[in-house]
Amino acid sequence: MELEEHAYDVVVIGAGGAGLRAAIAAHEAGARTAVVCKSLLGKAHTVMAEGGIAAAMGNLYPEDNWRVHFRDTMRGGKMLNHWRMAQLHAQEAPDRVRELEDWGALFDRTDAGLISQRDFGGHRYARLAHVGDRTGLELIRTLQQRTVALGIDVFMECTVTRLLTDDVGIVGAFGYWRESGRFVAWQAPSVVLATGGIGKAYKVTSNSWEYTGDGHSLALQAGASLVNMEFVQFHPTGMVWPPSVRGLLVTESVRGDGGILKNSAGNRFMFDYIPDFFRKETAETEEEADRWYTDKKNNRRPPELLPRDEVARAINSEVKAGRGTDHGGVWLDIASRRSPEYIRKRLPSMYHQFKELADVDITKEAMEIGPTCHYVMGGVEVEPDSQAAKVTGLFAAGEVAGGMHGSNRLGGNSLSDLLVFGRRAGVAAAENARNRAGRVRLADDALTSAARAALAPFEREGGENPYTVQHDLQQTMHDLVGIIRTEAEMKGALERIAELKERVANLSVDGHRQYNPGWHLALDLPHMLLVSECIARAALERQESRGGHTRDDFPTADPEWGKTNLICSRGPGGDVGVRRQPLPQMPSDLAEIFEETA
């Protein structure tokens, strides 16, 4: 077998924000580090993040600090977040933003010349460090340039298909170059998963093609566990028209900067959907909500800025009640509320996106929007301080890791999550590599088996087209495991997923190995199916509604379930099992924060 082999201390899989930050940290800790990514460097899904990086820097509101940020994050996640991750995140985010500035990032400024901070849903104070509405691009370009400046090796357009383990833990990874289809293996005692999310299992999604759940699946197959996979975030505002852009994100900043939601009758409906949990901090009248934009101290927040799960469910309800637009969405209106200059200045990339893709001028017209699959809160179960998974040598950071966001993520907390836990994973991976130096070896039979599995779709004749199977999976998840769920739907989904598994085992692909997207999809599909099964199984098990998981047959949050995590793991026969595990107990000094700031 023709195989290119490399040896590193740390291999990072994924070159989005978390992956690059992890690689920089590992490199700076002295580890020989490689980054492997499916696309060209700088193209990861992080470039699409718009709003900003949540960090309690206090540049606009000196009252803001990590304790308030911690509180907002836990409440946004309906208290199911791992308290320690939420704490570390809130404490370390400001330093991670400052360090980006030292690497060349140019954030928008306040009048005092400091880093500007903008409002987002669920955050008590304006807290998002941003660059217009293209913060993700700024973040990834800065990390990319730092990675290049440090001389870290990057394997671009290279896909990992398997993690390799011995009886202790990780020994490396196996994959192929997309360009040539040739195989490559990395020997390494530490692997950091930073592969992002699972959105491509859904039909309407804001995610790029890379979000096929490979990191979740690779971890599971290597023996790690996944936590709370039932929590999938549907971002309330995706484009719904024209059909070819359905799902593309409309940043939450549109609402933070004054945009409001209206139904087809022209009513500002969010006032009808304020949950008791957030009533104290939400405006009761349109007048109060509108005053808040200029006087945040004496007024409460507009209900448009409730956390994402609340807004997505409200939109869903309006459309279901027959008050939606012709294309099944609602209106997001900033045109009638802000001047064209203001809109173009604060939301340049939204202006551009609607103009170019939908031929809509958002300074003149309302946007037609609806919920879109955006983010998976569930992910690899990790130790909060080190991001270590349950397999020695395996680490996970960013969207592929679970626990940080509980049942619902606040906007802006993703980019800060990438930086805080990317860095921690890189440091811990480097340390693990030092401890296991010289003790890992790639076994020939494991490499041969990985190669054989990767080539199987070429061996089969007359099998199904992978694009058809992907389409059917996306339809299944859209119809049955979407925003609102029931027991019967989850059972139906699991039956269909079982059928899809058989079809995937029988795929065949055209052509040869060189840059063959049909083949690449055939290898991504088993990952998508495994992750979809985890979501459906966990969603069936959790008999309550909380955050990104809403059960029509159990419509309220249940205090007992509020103390329970659901853990997916793989049994010896390869089946996915789900078990309940108690939530870690929050120490009393942190619990006090909820009393003092209530």
Tokens for 425?
């994973």
- Contact between 374 and another protein by CB under 8 A: the answer reads no
**DSSP for 3-48?**
EEEEE-SEEEE--SHHHHHHHHHHHHTT--EEEE-SS-TT-SGGGG
DSSP-based three-state secondary structure for 154: strand
Q: Residue 25 in contact with residue 432, Cβ under 8 Å? A: no
The answer to whether 515 contacts another protein (rule: CB under 8 A) is yes
Q: Which of 474, 532, 526, 476 is nearest to 501 (CA)?
A: 526
CA 10 to chain CA mean position, Å: 23
Q: Which is nearer to another protein, 242 or 584 (CB)?
A: 242
Binder of another protein out of 135, 195, 208, 550 (CB under 8 A): 208
Decide if residue 519 touches another protein (CB under 8 A). Answer: yes
The count of chain residues that interact with another protein, using the rule CB under 8 A, is 66
Is-catalytic flag, 323?
Answer: no
Residues 526, 218 contacting (CB under 8 angstroms): no
Q: Min. distance of Cβ 516 from another protein in angstroms?
A: 5
Residue span 146-165 as binding mask against another protein, x where in contact by CB under 8 A, dash where not: x-xx------x---------
User: Helix, strand or coil for residue 383?
Assistant: coil
Q: Is 328 in the site for another protein (CB under 8 A)?
A: no
Closest CA to 535 of 574, 580, 477, 470: 477
* Residue 112 vs 265, nearer CB to another protein: 112
Sign of CA dihedral 337, 340, 346, 348: positive
Q: In this complex, which beta carbon is closest to another protein, that of residue 454 or of residue 557?
A: 454
Query: Considering beta carbons, is residue 103 or 320 the nearer one to another protein?
Result: 103
* 373 touches another protein (CB under 8 A): no
Single out the catalytic residue among 96, 301, 308, 496: 308
DSSP designation for 246: T
DSSP 303-345: GGGS-HHHHHHHHHHHHHTT-S-TTS-EEEE-TTTS-HHHHHH
Distance in Å, CB of 93 to another protein, minimum: 15
**592 counts as binding another protein under rule CB under 8 A:** no
Examine residue 320 and tell whether it contacts another protein (CB under 8 A). no
State phi, psi for 546 to the nearest 5 degrees.
-160, 130
- Hey, is 469 helix, strand or coil? helix
Rounded CA gap, 307 and 13, in Å?
31
Q: Could you tell me how many helices (H) and strands (E) the chain has, helices first?
A: 17, 22
Interacting residues with another protein between 454 and 483 (CB under 8 A): 465-468, 471
Interaction of residue 69 with another protein, rule CB under 8 A: no
Q: Does 20 bind another protein (CB under 8 A)?
A: no
Nearest residue (CB) to another protein, 241 versus 561: 241
By the 8 A CB rule, do 539 and 230 touch? yes
Interface with another protein (CB under 8 A), residue from 4, 101, 286, 385: 101
* E strands, 180-225, in order: 183-187, 190-193
Cis (ω within 30 of 0) for the bond into 242? yes
Question: Distances in Å between the alpha carbon of 306 and those of 273, 279, 312, 314, 562?
Answer: 10, 10, 10, 10, 20
- Out of 72, 138, 333, 381, which residue is the one contacting another protein (CB under 8 A)? 138
> 138 or 333, CB closer to another protein?
138
Instruction: Assess 114 for contact with another protein (CB under 8 A).
Output: yes
Give yes or no for residue 437 binding another protein (CB under 8 A): no
Which helix (H) or strand (E) segment holds residue 449: the answer is helix 444-459
State which of positions 164-193 bind another protein (CB under 8 A).
Answer: 179
Structure tokens at 7: 């040896």
> Shortest approach of another protein to residue 236 CB, angstroms?
18
Q: Binding another protein by CB under 8 A: which of 6, 32, 84, 98?
A: 98
Provide, rounded to whole angstroms, the least separation between the CB of residue 33 and another protein.
Answer: 16
Which positions from 24 to 63 touch another protein by CB under 8 A, shown as an x/- string? ---------------xxxxxxx-xx---------------
Distance CA 566, CA 582 (A): 9
Task: Report how far residue 397's alpha carbon sits from residue 18's, in angstroms, rounded to the nearest whole number.
Answer: 6
Q: Of the ranges 138-146, 276-284, 416-424, 495-503, which one interacts with another protein (CB under 8 A)? A: 138-146
- Could you say whether residue 209 binds another protein (CB under 8 A)? yes
Q: Which is nearer to another protein, 147 or 413 (CB)?
A: 147
Residues that bind another protein (CB under 8 A): 39-45, 47-48, 98, 101-104, 106-109, 112-114, 116, 131-132, 134, 137-138, 141, 145-146, 148-149, 156, 179, 208-210, 241-245, 248-249, 349, 352-353, 356-359, 465-468, 471, 509-512, 514-519
Residues with catalytic roles: 308
